[in-house]
Homo-oligomer: A and B are copies of this chain.
Amino acid sequence: MPEVATRVAPERGIAALRQLLGDRLSTAMAVRDAHGHGESYHPTQAPDAVAFATTIAEVAEIVRICAAHRLPIVPFGTGTGLEGGTVALHGGVSLDVSGLNRIVAVRPEDMNMTVEAGVTRKTLNTHLRDTGLFFPIDPGADASLGGMAATRASGTNAVRYGTMRENVLGLTVVLADGRVVKTGGQARKSAAGYDLTRLFVGSEGTLGIICEVTLKLYGVPEAMSAAVCSFPTIADAANAVIVTIQSGVPVARIELIDEVQMGAINRHAKLDYKVAPTLFYEFHGTTAGVVEQAEGAQAIASDFGGTDFRWAVKPEDRAKLWQARHDAFYAALALRPGVKGWATDVCVPISRLADCIVETKRDLEASSVLAPIVGHVGDGNFHLTFLVDRDDPAEMAEAHRINDRMVLRALAMGGTCTGEHGIGYGKVDFLQAEHGAGVSVMRDLKRALDPANIMNPGKVLRI
């Protein structure tokens, strides 16, 4: 398998795509540039063209044309990825699926729904507004469901509701040879054959193009309450999380925000929380159950010096709180206007969370780079957002050094090099460090489904 798909005749491939798509095939520089990056630090590398598909049949036809001309295909949802998944490393075609934006079916009686890949999570939940149901997975950005499935996204609710891994029931995928395959189904469980759904979830466009997603839905809880609590040190906050999880309190959300990020959030969202290591909680359940959970969490927080337990019970207060949390990345960027954020994440077994965060924080305190910490800490997952000038080699080298140390620290603790951002092309070496022989198996699977290496080449695996 070639490291780079040989673009046999890109111009002819693009001409064939233009014939298929008309003005939904663009080679305008602005459009190509807009599709050649994500939201993180990775420099833009523009595709040769951008194809705007509107149907699954069209996606299949685009893939067939690209396959015939050996044109790399880079799927594109909202461009909000954080590990460079949409960067066109080897040129080719950015396949924009935002036009695949239909709500295919909502089945409240079975608590599931099917959407096309371009539907975003906010659109989806707005659509559900009057059904009493919701979809819990919430990466910070208003990402597309196709992109969320492709990167195995999660977010603040994953500690209670799981990630895309647990919440995708089935997919429609277009493979490198143009085959259209439906995986999974509507049954809540199945022992029928290989779990293709889970194979494509997290494959970052390297095995196929996700076109349709069937998702589990959940009843909006009878009661919800949120709370904010600050701690003397980040170790205290992390230890409160560990004990809360080990105690089995079924928190719906438990988010850590360090003092740097907390200051940024206050400024960005015009809030007045104490500038200290802070936990944001949310509790879901029956009215009595939520009180019980909150009392349990608060008692544990107190044991670790947690003070200023502030409640947000009214829906608008909770919404404001969580919007502030979701905007953490943008709030961090505002700390140093003009720079790009480099968002990285790791995930460790819960018992090592405090160690991993404290050691990482120590690295940061001894460093010149600025990087707020936030985390979906109930899962053992946390993030750094390096605020770096990507044109300054010394700054970038320092960020790399700290990132390397954090990832290798997480791996040494039995963790993973990314809890939810994916590998993209930024963490290919770390995937090797984490999975060793497993990567050779991944490569076998990639070769089986994409022998010409046209599907998002250079991402996840180095061939």
Residues of A within 8 A of B (CB): 107, 109-112, 151-154, 158, 162-163, 165-166, 175, 179-183, 185-196, 198-199, 201-203, 207, 218-219, 221, 246-248, 285-286, 288-289, 292, 347-351, 379-381, 414-423, 427, 430-431, 434-442, 444-445, 447-449, 460-461
Contacts and interface: CB of A to CB of B under 8 A. Distances in A.
A189 B381 contact: yes
23 contacts: A162-B166, A179-B437, A185-B434, A186-B414, A187-B379, A187-B380, A188-B350, A188-B381, A190-B416, A190-B418, A192-B417, A192-B423, A192-B435, A193-B461, A194-B202, A198-B198, A199-B445, A219-B248, A286-B289, A288-B288, A289-B289, A289-B292, A445-B449
B109 A351 contact: yes
Most buried by B among A422, A441, A442: A441
A252 to B, nearest CB: 13
Contacts of A351: 107, 109-110
Contacts of A438: 181-183, 193, 196
Contact of A109 (B195, B199, B246): B246
A440 B173 CA distance: 13
A288 B296 CA distance: 14
A200 to B, nearest CB: 9
A379 to B, nearest CB: 5
10 residue pairs, one from A and one from B, having the closest CB atoms: A198-B198, A448-B448, A190-B416, A109-B351, A110-B349, A219-B248, A186-B414, A187-B347, A187-B416, A186-B349
A448 B437 contact: no
A263 to B, nearest CB: 28
A431 B192 CA distance: 6
Contacts of A427: 192
Given A109-B246, A196-B441, A189 B165 contact: yes
Contacts of A194: 199, 202-203, 207, 442, 445, 460
B187 A195 contact: no
A180 B409 CA distance: 24
B449 A191 contact: no
Contacts of A419: 187, 189-191
Most buried by B among A350, A381, A461: A350
Contact of A437 (B109, B182, B416): B182
A247 B423 CA distance: 39
A433 to B, nearest CB: 10
Nearest to A428: B193
Contacts of A286: 289, 292
A218 B246 CA distance: 9
Contacts of A188: 347, 349-350, 379-381
Contact of A195 (B107, B182, B202): B202
Contacts of A203: 194
A108 to B, nearest CB: 8
A339 B92 CA distance: 63
Contact of A441 (B175, B186, B441): B175
A269 B430 CA distance: 55
